[in-house]
Structure 1
Amino acid sequence: MGLSSEPAQRTTWRTVRRFRRASGDGLSFVPFGLLPLLGLGLLTLIAWTSFAPHSVEAVARSAAEATVADAGADWAAVQVSGQWVTVTGTPATPEAGQRLLNDIRNARAPTWLGQARAVTHVTGKFGGASATAGQANVADGLSAAEKIPEFLFRLSGSKLTLDGRVPDIATRDALLNAANTDRPAHIDEVESQLETIGTGTPKGFLETALRGITVLKQCDSGTASFTAMRFNLRCALPESDAERVRTLATSSLPYGSVGDIEILAQEVVESCEQELAHLLEASHIEFDPGSDRITSSKAALLDLLARAATDCPGRFRVEGHTDNTGSIALNEDLSRRRAEAVRAALIQRGVAPSRVIATGFGPGQPVGDNATEEGRALNRRIEIRIVRADE
Structure 2
Amino acid sequence: MNKERLSFDEKIVWILTVCLIVCFTVLETYTWGRYLFFVLTVFIYFFNVYEKRKILFPVEQFQKYGLIFDGYVFLSCLWAWDKTATFEKGITIFQIVILFSFVYMYYAQKKDTRMLISAIKWAGIVVAIYTIFYFGIDGIITASTSYYRIDNTFSNANNIGMICAISIFIEIFCIIYEKVSWNSIFIVPCLLALTATQSRKALIFVVVGTIALIIMKSREEKNVKKTILTLIGLIVVVILGIKLLSTLEIFSGVNDRMAGLFGMFGSNSNVVDHSTRLREQMSALGIAWWLKYPLTGIGIGCPYLLNSQFLGEKAYLHNNYVELLCGGGVFGTVLYYVRYIYLIYNLIKYRKADFRIFIISFVWIILALAMDYGMVTYYEKTQWFYMMVYFLNIRYLRKKMEKYNEM
TM-score normalised over the length of structure 1: 0.30
- Decide which structure has greater strand share: 1
- Decide which structure has greater helix share: 2
**Higher Rg:** 1
